[in-house]
């Protein structure tokens, strides 16, 4: 949809440069600028929407607790191995 704004902005720019009326040229250039800004905002919005976090990769609290317990057990085992010659 945002590509339509770019096409319309280009069309407004071409129409503005082909006209002989200064008022119509001003309106077309302002319209082209607004449509170009809408295109940029649309591109930004689609980029931000595609960067969202994947919720399936999030760790729930129970899994996080289990991982912490495993890490503590591993550290305790390593500390015990370091203390015994």
DSSP line for 24-82 = HHHHHHHHHHHHHHHHHHHHHHHHHHHT---GGGPPPHHHHHHHHHHHHHHHHHHHHHH
pLDDT band at 30 (very low <50, low <70, confident <90, very high): very high
Q: Where are the domains of the chain?
A: 2-50+59-83
pLDDT at 59: 81
- Which of 21-25, 51-55, 69-73, 79-83 has the least mean pLDDT? 51-55
Beta-carbon count within 10 A of 2 CB: 14
Model confidence pLDDT, tens digit, residues 35-77:
999 999 999 988 887 766 666 777 888 999 999 999 999 999 9
pLDDT at 66: 94
Please indicate, yes or no, whether the overall pTM of this predicted structure exceeds 0.85: no
């Amino acid at each position: 949809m945002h590509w339509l704004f770019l096409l319309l902005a280009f069309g407004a720019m071409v129409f503005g440069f082909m006209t002989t009326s200064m008022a119509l040229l001003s309106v077309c250039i302002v319209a082209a600028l607004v449509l170009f800004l809408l295109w940029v905002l649309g591109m930004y919005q689609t980029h931000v929407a595609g960067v969202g976090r994947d919720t399936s990769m999030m760790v729930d609290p129970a899994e996080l607790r289990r991982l912490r317990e495993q890490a503590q057990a591993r550290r305790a085992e390593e500390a015990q191995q370091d203390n015994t010659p």
